[in-house]
């Protein structure tokens, strides 16, 4: 292999981009292996673990798609707001077969966040559970008068009744690979969520390239605790398993004891999870008594994966570790470490780019490719890049340049073999246990508190979560400083729990640039410098 001089990885075109759709890959799997197991409900009660073959999964998805055609026209947006139910997966396929665009919504969102996503996407309908860690039905009822485009509300608890409404003679539309399949919400520097428009071709091929690289085989079991509202869950997990003819086990909600039991009883060949999940699994008292000998591959990403964690997982499970790196806007994966890579590469790099994926590391100031080994912004181009941000042309133009390069905002380096390492982030995004958190949204929420004069939010290191949120607050002069408990309650009422600051620091002044911008790196340094050890 020729060693590169500049950090430019040309697309490997030896494997083709197929003209596939989300519904089409399920039809292909059902045609190839109709009686093979396709999905198992990853719920705590083994007696409640329903199972589907590929033929059964397709039949239920097509029935649901016919029921959707009675309510929606092709191209309309359909929101889904629930944990990892099997019906979530079936709805993903059904929406695709009906030509609808699925809007995936985090179950942790609060009222204002939910209303924002529904309105910004223009969702015509929503499928949800009445309650999951918060009163979701109540939240929806409270915001529905402010969401005028929302016509249809269906509860997953009424799934059988919904299926029964399917017209027997309904004709499903023709769906093209370049049609939109999903809108996935992710925030930018403004702090307001932006909807990444992902097409069928990008999602299906990206998942296929992933499972080909990690070697998932027909009939093998993939236990998937990654939230379905993320591309890792509904893209890599759902669509990867189908294209491998493997068995997908969506885990209702991550719990290390449940994960360990499923890995053992379902004889899983592979599991995925953000580093926080891996740490919890290794640390659980059930770990030593579970037979995990079936596991071949453990995949992780979403936030920096510590080298020592990779080595611990491999030593204690016997599996090979595969770090993945991507971004929602790229459907999502850009690089994957091969399970047969060297131990050093498995622990210390992000691997090489997937097929048909062009990568370059560019100078942040000039945009020119940097020499191999130097740090710059990671940019990507290819079939997997989103069409753009929904109804946000300026944000799209800022993210995708005139030559089609998507600018990730991540600082990375590439060695002469094309192996990548992430060095930091241009943006101030905080990644807590795989969840992207954007300081502006939290800052604006805290700024509305009457006792807060100024606030700056940063990410600080945490052994469990990788990063957690720290809020630096300047109280209104002449008034008593608000108690952390008061501010925490203020945030919990308005934001998802994972966005609520874990640390509170009160200050009389902020370090600033000459132009008056708060220097957040100095806040991080001051916080870290005051921590024990």
**How does pLDDT run across 497-513, given as a tens digit for each residue?**
999 999 999 999 888 75
The answer to whether residues 272 and 379 belong to one domain is yes
Is 349 inside a domain boundary? yes
Instruction: Examine the domain organization and report whether 444 and 515 are in the same domain.
Output: yes
Question: Using one digit for the tens of pLDDT, what is the confidence trace for 356-371?
Answer: 999 999 998 899 999 9
Residue 274 within any structural domain of the chain: yes
What is the C-alpha to C-alpha distance for residues 270 and 214, in angstroms, rounded to an integer? 9
- The enclosing domain of 476 has a CATH number of 3.30.300.30
User: Which one-letter DSSP state was computed for residue 289?
Assistant: G
Q: What is the CATH classification number for the domain harbouring 213? A: 3.40.50.12780
Same domain, 152 and 248: yes
Task: Tell me what pLDDT residue 517 has.
Answer: 60
Q: Name beta bridge partners: 267.
A: none
For 306, residues 6+ apart whose C-beta sits below 8 A from its C-beta are: 275
Backbone φ/ψ region at 367: left (φ over 0), alpha (ψ -120 to 50), beta: left
Contacts of 222 by beta carbon, 8 Å cutoff, 6+ apart: 216, 237, 240, 241, 246, 247, 248, 249, 268, 269, 270, 271, 272
- When comparing pLDDT for 280 and 346, which is higher? 346
Write out the residue range of the structural domain in which residue 342 sits. Answer: 8-414
What is the per-residue pLDDT for 427? 67
Nearest to 40 by CA among 235, 289, 268: 268
pLDDT value, residue 164: 98
Residue 3: predicted pLDDT: 64
Please confirm whether the linkage preceding 332 is cis (ω < 30° from 0).
Answer: yes
| Inter-residue contact 441 to 192 (CB < 8 Å) | yes
Phi and psi for 276 in degrees, rounded to 5? -60, -40
How many other β-carbons are positioned within 10 Å of the β-carbon of residue 83? 19
d(CA 327, CA 60): 31
Q: How many domains does the chain have?
A: 2
**pLDDT score, position 476:** 86
Residues 318, 451: one domain? no
Q: Say whether both 410 and 490 belong to one domain.
A: no
396 and 438: one domain? no
Half-sphere exposure of 84 (CA within 13 A, CB side): 27
Give the tens place of pLDDT for each residue, 178-190.
999 999 998 543 4
Identify whether 2 is part of a domain.
no
State whether 215 and 174 are in the same domain: yes
Q: Spell out the residues 6+ positions from residue 35 whose beta carbon is closer than 8 angstroms to its own.
A: 53, 54, 55
Q: Is 66 contained in some domain?
A: yes
Q: Is residue 150 part of a domain?
A: yes
Cβ atoms of 416 and 3 closer than 8 Å: yes
CB 186 within 8 A of CB 329: yes
């Amino acid at each position: 292999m020729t060693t590169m001089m500049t950090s430019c990885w040309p697309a490997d075109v030896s494997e083709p981009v197929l003209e596939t759709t989300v519904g089409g890959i399920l039809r292909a799997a059902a045609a190839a292996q109709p009686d093979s197991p396709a999905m198992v409900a990853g719920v705590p009660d083994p007696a409640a673990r329903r199972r589907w073959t590929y033929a059964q999964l397709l039949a239920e998805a097509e029935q649901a798609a016919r029921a959707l055609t009675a309510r929606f026209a092709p191209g309309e947006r359909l929101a889904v707001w629930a944990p990892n139910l099997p019906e979530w997966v079936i709805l993903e396929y059904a929406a695709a077969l009906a030509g609808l665009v699925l809007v995936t919504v985090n179950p942790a969102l609060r009222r204002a966040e939910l209303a924002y996503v529904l309105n910004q996407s223009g969702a015509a309908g929503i499928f949800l559970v009445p309650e999951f860690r918060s009163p979701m039905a109540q939240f929806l009822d409270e915001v529905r008068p402010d969401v005028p485009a929302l016509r249809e509300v269906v509860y997953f608890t009424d799934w059988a009744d919904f299926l029964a409404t399917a017209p027997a003679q309904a004709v499903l539309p023709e769906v093209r690979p370049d049609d939109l399949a999903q809108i996935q919400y992710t925030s930018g520097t403004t702090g307001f969520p932006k909807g990444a428009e992902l097409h069928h071709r990008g999602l299906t091929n990206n998942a296929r390239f992933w499972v080909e690289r990690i070697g998932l085989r027909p009939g093998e079991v993939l236990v998937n605790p990654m939230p379905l509202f993320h591309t890792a869950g509904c893209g890599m997990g759902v669509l990867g398993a189908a294209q491998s003819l493997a068995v997908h086990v969506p885990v209702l909600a991550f719990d290390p004891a449940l994960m360990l039991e499923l890995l053992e009883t379902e004889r899983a060949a592979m599991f995925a999870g953000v580093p926080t999940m891996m740490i919890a699994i290794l640390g659980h008292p059930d770990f030593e008594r579970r037979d995990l000998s079936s596991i071949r591959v453990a995949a992780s990403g979403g936030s920096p994966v510590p080298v020592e964690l990779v080595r611990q997982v491999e030593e204690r499970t016997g599996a090979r570790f595969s770090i993945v790196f991507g971004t929602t806007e790229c459907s999502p994966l850009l690089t994957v470490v091969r399970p047969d890579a060297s131990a050093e590469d498995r622990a210390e790099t992000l691997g090489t780019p997937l097929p048909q994926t062009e990568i370059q590391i560019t100078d942040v100031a000039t945009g020119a490719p940097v020499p191999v080994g130097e740090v710059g912004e990671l940019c990507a181009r290819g079939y997997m890049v989103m069409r753009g941000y929904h109804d946000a042309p300026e944000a799209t133009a800022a993210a995708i340049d005139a030559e089609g390069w998507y600018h990730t905002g991540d600082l990375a380096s590439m060695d002469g073999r094309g192996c990548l390492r992430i060095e930091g982030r241009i943006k101030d995004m905080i990644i807590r246990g795989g969840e992207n958190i954007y300081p502006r949204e939290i800052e604006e929420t805290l700024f509305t508190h009457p006792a807060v004069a100024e606030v700056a939010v940063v990410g600080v290191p945490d052994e469990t979560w990788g990063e957690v949120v720290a809020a630096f607050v300047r109280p209104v002069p002449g008034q008593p400083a608000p108690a952390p408990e008061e501010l925490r309650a203020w945030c919990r009422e308005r934001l998802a729990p994972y966005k609520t600051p874990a640390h509170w620091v009160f200050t009389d002044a902020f370090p600033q640039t000459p132009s008056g911008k708060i220097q957040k790196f100095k806040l991080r340094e001051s916080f870290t410098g005051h921590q024990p050890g």
